[in-house]
Amino acid sequence: MLGEKTIYVLSDSVGETAELVVKAGLSQFNGVDYQISRIPYVEDKETIDEALQMAKDTSGIISFTLVDPKLRKYIKEQAEKLNIEAVDIMGPTMEAMERAFQKPPRLEAGLVHKLDEDYFKRVEAIEFAVKYDDGRDPRGIARADIILIGVSRTSKTPLSQYLALKRIKVANVPIVPEVDPPEELFEVDPKKCIGLSIKPEKLNEIRKERLKALGLKDEATYANMDRIHQELDYFNQIVDKIGCNVIDVSNKAVEETASIILHMLHRK
C-alpha cells in the first residue's frame, strides 16, 4: 500500500481555490493517505524551485493556480524534467476562455477575492503572520507592514495574529544573544520595526509560569535573572542599532499594545 502523499498547492494568491479543487479530487479516492501543504503568494521562480524540490524529495504532487503564463510554463517544464506530477488548475480554463471570448485575460492574481476584499485581506494577513512567525523565513521582513522584535515571551506571536485581524501583515523575529538577527532586519525602514521590551522581573514571572505549565522546574536557565538581563541587554543593542520604536509590554494586554501600534501606523 502506498504511504502518505503530500500535495503541494501553489498559488499567487491565498491558495483557497486550488486547495478546494484538490480536495474535491481527493474525495473520489477512498482510503488515500495524504496531506496538503499550501504555498501562497508564489511570485518568483525561486519559490517554485523550493516547492519542486520538496515534491521531488517526498514523491509528492504539485497543484497550482498561477495566472502568470511565464511562471506556469516554468513550473510545467521543471516538473517534467524532475518527473513530478504537476496539475495546472487555472491555465487550461483561462486559455479556453481567451479563445472563446477572443480577449486576453487581465493576468492579475487574486481577483476573485475582491468579491469581499476586506475579508480576504484579513485571511492573507493571518496566513502571512503564520508563515513569517518566529523568524522562520527572513524574506517576510521586506514584505511585512510591521516587524515585531523581542525576546521570548513578549507576546510577539499573539500580537502578530491580533494585528492580522486588522489586515496588517506582520513578521516577528526573536532576539537571542547566541543568534545573529537576519541582515534583512537592518535593511528595511526602521519605522516598520517595533521592539517589544519588558521589565526583567515581569519576564522572570512569565517564564516561570511557562515552565510550570510545561511541567518543568522554574529554576531553569530560561527563567534565570542573569540570563534574562543578558537577553534584554542584547535586545537593547539590536533596537539601538536599528533605530526603531520600542513599546514596553510589561503590564499591557495584547489589545493595548496593538492599539499603540495601530496609532503609530495611522500617524505615519
58 labeled part of a ligand binding site = no
157 labeled part of a ligand binding site = yes
150 labeled part of a ligand binding site = yes
Name, in order, each residue with C-beta under 8 angstroms of 167's C-beta and a sequence gap of 6 or more: 118, 121, 122, 124, 125
153 labeled part of a ligand binding site = yes
155 labeled part of a ligand binding site = yes
How far apart are alpha carbons 225 and 124 in whole angstroms? 39
257 labeled part of a ligand binding site = no
How far apart are alpha carbons 147 and 163 in whole angstroms? 11
Within 10 angstroms of residue 42's Cβ, the number of other Cβ atoms is 23
197 labeled part of a ligand binding site = no
154 labeled part of a ligand binding site = yes
Length of the chain as a residue count: 268
Name, in order, each residue with C-beta under 8 angstroms of 62's C-beta and a sequence gap of 6 or more: 7, 8, 10, 51, 52, 55, 75, 79, 84, 85, 86, 87
State the binding site: 150-157
Binding-site residue positions for ADP: 150-157
